[in-house]
Amino acid sequence: MAFEYVKPNSSTFTSLVQVCAVLEDVLMGSSLHSQIIKLGYSDNVVVQTSVLGMYSSCGDLESARRIFECVNNGDAVAWNTMIVGSLKNDKIGDGLMFFRNMLMSGVDPTQFTYSIVLNGCSKLGSYSLGKLIHARIIVSDSLVDLPLDNALLDMYCSCGDMREAFYVFGRIHNPNLVSWNSIISGCSENGFGEQAMLMYRRLLRMSTPRPDEYTFSAAISATAEPERFVYGKLLHGQVTKLGYEKSVFVGTTLLSMYFKNGEAESAQKVFDVMKERDVVLWTEMIVGHSRLGNSEFAVQFFIDMYREKNRSDGFSMSSVLGACSDMAMLRQGEVFHSLAIRTGLDCVMSVCGALVDMYGKNGKYETAESIFSLVSNPDLKCCNSMLGAYSQHGMVEKALSFFEQILENGFMPDAVTYLSLLAACSHRGSTKEGKFLWNQMKEQSIKAGFKHYSCMVNLISKAGLLDEALELIEQSHPGNNQAELWRTLLSACVNTRNLQMGLYAAEQILKLDPEDTATHILLSNLYAVNGRWEDVAEMRRKIRGLASSKDPGLSWIEVNNNNTQVFSSGDQSNPEIVSQAQDELNRLKSNMLCKSSFNKLVCSN
């Protein structure tokens, strides 16, 4: 048109600018904006509004703001455009501020305005603002269409108020699939798995709408708990029958479900079916294997993902670094650290925390400190990683000093914070500090988990305060994990020659696991330190019988070329490594004998 010297009109420019907005081509849009100014259309409200929408859609919010200040004529269209642009570009706070200013300017919001602002509340988790908007809608007697009802429903689900969510859902005259997906997903994400399955079954009984991949994903998420896992398998069958199994969205949820129930082989089958594998799918495999303790598989999947040219993100990188921490794979962790630097992921907060944790667990706390010092505004999780590094090395003074810094920076310590502190005290035998922290944790209403009890029982037992240790164990949550606490007390009874309490502790363990070899060994030692040699002989006979029926315990060591060698007691499959390991054990034994004040150890061969 320009080549034929036909002057474009306002409709031409409006259409062209809208095309640029759809294509998100800000360069072409800016060029058109220049032509609009040159040809005198900058005062045309329709044209300028389309330019505003183009800049907003392309993420150039500064240019959009300048246009907005010129074009704003008191209607809702320009305000809506700025709110949508802010939310689309993750400037949720700015979007909500535009809404506030819109109200203060006396402009009445439309249904669309309320819908997009409620979506912002959902993303931000701003429950109080969402409730206020809902109240305003009711008071103003505004018409509520289906998109607005769905926005309200999503807001309540995202903020965890399922009571209000069900109220809104029940009021919708003819809910569409978006409505159903929101309520099923909301139930699933907020721990109402049974209600999620009930809503899913209600949907199936209807002729329309029919479930899609998002419906299946939400329903499968609700079946990840062991008591509903059987329904998850049935859903997997439905997914396969309807052809959604190859959906990345559904596949990722299936992987999560199988890994949470310990079925890595089933997860692998799902993964093998997938034709398209994005970074989220790969990350689910990495995280799943890492949580099951299959750290080698987690590392291998990360390497395979990288070889298939899938760019890693912060979550996948932090997950594989966590696997390196669990397996004490320092060299491999250093390789991933280099990769994180090359890809810019070393600046991501979760990766920084994972690096600090990885170096701390591998004995490199100075490197962990160096990395932590480069983090400009560390979050609590990153601080906990640094605290864990100090704890790993029994550096109680540094841990407590760092804890003071955490408090000074305005963080509220959580259960992980106190676990690291208690572990440091337990490592060093700092009974006074440990008791103080335990009481402080209870004052702050932080619920103690098994690991917290384990640290405290270990600390108090080593100090010889066996009655207090017994009281703590009895306060802990019953279950198989409790056997470890009793075992700690039993070990302390061996050291203090407390036969009566030791026999009581052993009785509690054997109720939970009658064939626990470690308990029988400790019992043998308890009888030995109390001179009951006939009982020692009887225990040794039992131990030999148990040992023959038990699978051997496995250990691992990182050797040359980043290989991890797994071995068991008496393993001679790799003579060279066995020889090196034996030499190192002899060196450690010699050092222990030189530094120990004891010349007699009670042990089992």
pLDDT in tens, 165-224: 999 999 999 999 999 999 999 999 999 999 999 999 999 999 889 999 999 999 999 999
Mean pLDDT, rounded, for 451-479: 90
- Predicted pLDDT at 72: 62
pLDDT, tens only, 42-98 = 778 788 888 888 888 888 888 888 888 877 666 788 888 889 888 888 888 888 888
Mean pLDDT, rounded, for 503-531: 89
Spell out the residues 6+ positions from residue 129 whose beta carbon is closer than 8 angstroms to its own: 96, 121
Q: Would you give the DSSP letter of residue 208?
A: S
Backbone angles phi, psi at 313, to 5 degrees: -115, 180
- Predicted pLDDT at 74: 62
Lowest mean pLDDT among 36-45, 139-148, 151-160, 591-600: 591-600
Mean pLDDT, rounded, for 105-129: 90
pLDDT at residue 517 tops 90: no
- Predicted pLDDT at 216: 96
Flag whether 336 is in a domain.
Answer: no
pLDDT at residue 601 tops 60: no
- Predicted pLDDT at 598: 44
Query: Among the ranges 22-31, 183-192, 288-297, 529-538, which has the highest mean pLDDT value?
Result: 183-192
- Predicted pLDDT at 599: 44
pTM: 0.75
pLDDT at residue 329 tops 80: yes
Backbone angles phi, psi at 247, to 5 degrees: -70, 130
Flag whether 562 is in a domain.
Answer: yes
pLDDT at residue 570 tops 90: no
Spell out the residues 6+ positions from residue 552 whose beta carbon is closer than 8 angstroms to its own: 568, 569
- Predicted pLDDT at 317: 94
Q: What percent of the chain has pLDDT over 70?
A: 91
pLDDT at residue 40 tops 90: no
H helices present in 327-348, as ranges: 330-343
Tokens for 480, please give them: 């198989």
Flag whether 563 is in a domain.
Answer: yes
pLDDT at residue 526 tops 80: yes
pLDDT at residue 551 tops 60: no
pLDDT at residue 41 tops 60: yes
pLDDT at residue 355 tops 90: yes
- Predicted pLDDT at 605: 40
Tokens for 472, please give them: 């703590």
Flag whether 588 is in a domain.
Answer: yes
Mean pLDDT, rounded, for 439-451: 91
Residue type, 491: S
- Predicted pLDDT at 602: 43
Flag whether 550 is in a domain.
Answer: no
Mean pLDDT, rounded, for 523-532: 91
Distance CA 396, CA 98 (A): 49
pLDDT at residue 6 tops 80: no
pLDDT at residue 383 tops 60: yes
Q: Which H or E element spans position 558? A: strand 554-559
- Predicted pLDDT at 554: 60
Flag whether 366 is in a domain.
Answer: no
Three-state DSSP at 309 gives coil
pLDDT at residue 427 tops 80: yes
- Predicted pLDDT at 256: 95
Mean pLDDT, rounded, for 138-165: 91
Question: How many domains does the structure of the chain reveal?
Answer: 1
- Predicted pLDDT at 555: 66
pLDDT at residue 573 tops 70: no
pLDDT, tens only, 197-209 = 999 999 999 988 9
- Predicted pLDDT at 500: 92
Tokens for 216, please give them: 């299946």
Provide the residue range defining the domain that includes 563: 555-595
- Strand ranges inside 153-292, DSSP E: none
pLDDT at residue 597 tops 60: no
Residue 5 binned pLDDT confidence (cut-offs 50, 70, 90): low
- Predicted pLDDT at 223: 93
Flag whether 564 is in a domain.
Answer: yes
- Mean pLDDT of all residues in the chain? 87
Distance CA 424, CA 394 (A): 5
Flag whether 570 is in a domain.
Answer: yes
Annotate 416-450 with b (16+ C-beta within 10 A) or e (fewer): bbbbbbbbbbbbbebbebbbebbeebeeeebebee
